[in-house]
Amino acid sequence: MKNSKLLFISILIIAVLAGTAHLFAGIESTGDTETPVFVPSPAIQEEEEQVQRQPETQQQKTNWELLEGKWEVMYKSDDFTGSIVYRISKDKNSMNAYTVKYIDENGDSLNSEKLVLIVKSFSGKSGKGTYKLEYEGKAYDIPCKVKMTDPNHFELSYSYYDYSDKETWTRITE
């Protein structure tokens, strides 16, 4: 038993020493070997420079275009039951939403042209802005968030003191 134990310990020591030597032999470098270096072709460099030169406004323009158009929101409250149609368009450095018309539950409509939403930043998926509300004759500018759920829907959420709400805006295709 004692001999077999000594034999296994000896084999283990030899294996550790040999393994360590092989490990360090692979790491050691003489400096004679060349390290491969990736040199991009002129076409790749030109393409990268073009991407870097593209103004951010081009990407932002694409993001803004996701919001442009007519949208409808359904409401059901004590004050109003029906839908409101909005038109979102680019205006300088923001996207502005204006009411187009109010449609009540009976189908009667009332035209309107009033600024209700200013989206100041939009990444294509989410953004921030100001929602303009009127309540009991007073105007409120409420910070809001816009979250695109799919190309035809986005959620507008806001919270003002104890009141918070989330509206689903649906794109109207004409």
Q: What distance in Å separates the CA atoms of residue 170 and residue 35, rounded to the nearest whole number?
A: 57
Task: Give the N- to C-terminal CA distance of the chain in Å, as an integer.
Answer: 91
Architecture in CATH for domain 66-172? Beta Barrel (2.40)
4-16 pLDDT, tens per residue? 777 778 776 777 6
Task: Give the span between the Cα atoms of 83 and 102, in whole angstroms.
Answer: 6
Is the Cα dihedral 105, 113, 85, 135 positive or negative? negative
Least-confidence region, from 1-5, 30-34, 108-112: 30-34
Identify whether the C-beta of residue 114 lies closer than 8 Å to the C-beta of residue 99: yes
DSSP 35: P
Q: For residue 15, what pLDDT is reported? A: 72
Name the nearest CA neighbour of 123 among 160, 91, 95, 99. Answer: 95
Residue 46: pLDDT above 70?
no
Helix (H), strand (E) at residue 11: helix 2-27
Domain borders along the chain are 1-28, 66-172
Average the pLDDT over each of 29-38, 61-70, 73-82, 139-148 and give the range with the smallest value.
29-38
pLDDT at 164: 86
Q: Per residue in 127-160, pLDDT tens?
A: 999 999 888 889 999 999 999 999 999 999 999 8
Contacts of 94 (CB under 8 A, 6+ apart): 118, 119, 120, 129
| pLDDT computed for residue 52 by the predictor | 54
The runs of H, that is alpha helices, within 28-89 are 42-53, 56-65
CB 148 within 8 A of CB 69: no
